[in-house]
Amino acid sequence: GAVVSQHPSWVICKSGTSVKIECRSLDFQATTMFWYRQFPKQSLMLMATSNEGSKATYEQGVEKDKFLINHASLTLSTLTVTSAHPEDSSFYICSASYRIYQPQHFGDGTRLSIL
């Protein structure tokens, strides 16, 4: 089955640090990748949709300059949380889909803790 690798799985860092999270589709070409944020006991909140070779589409309320997304190839998308602060602490999940309406395949998520 389709495999999506997300790295790192856990990050603890000081306030003000920038953190990069990678999302790779290992066995298929992902035309679209999605980035979600999930707070404890809550649903997934879509942050942005990333299409290979074009700028990401951000959801309302998500700061583009804060959460930088790059989708440089059909197998890799990155999310960089710039100058992270404690309120950015959350569970970030990426997913990838090879075509519209196809199921999203999720990475295992990244737990980000900002001290």
Partner 1 sequence: AQKVTQVQTEISVVEKEDVTLDCVYETRDTTYYLFWYKQPPSGELVFLIRRNSFDEQNEISGRYSWNFQKSTSSFNFTITASQVVDSAVYFCALSEEGSGGYQKVTFGTGTKLQVIP
Count, residues in the chain: 115
Q: Which is nearer to partner 1, 54 or 65 (CB)?
A: 54
Binding site for partner 1 (CB under 8 A): 32, 34, 41-44, 46, 49, 51, 57, 91, 93, 95, 97, 100-109, 111
Alpha carbon 2 to its chain centroid, in Å, reads 17
Give me the least distance between CB of 103 and partner 1, in Å please: 5
Identify which of residues 14 and 41 has a Cβ nearer to partner 1 in the complex. Answer: 41
Question: What is the C-alpha to C-alpha distance for residues 1 and 115, in angstroms, rounded to an integer?
Answer: 37
* Least distance from partner 1 to the Cβ atom of residue 15, Å: 24
Nearer to partner 1, 80 or 102 (CB): 102
Token readout for 21 is 């999270």
Tokens of 66: 């804060």
Place of tokens 């999310």: 79
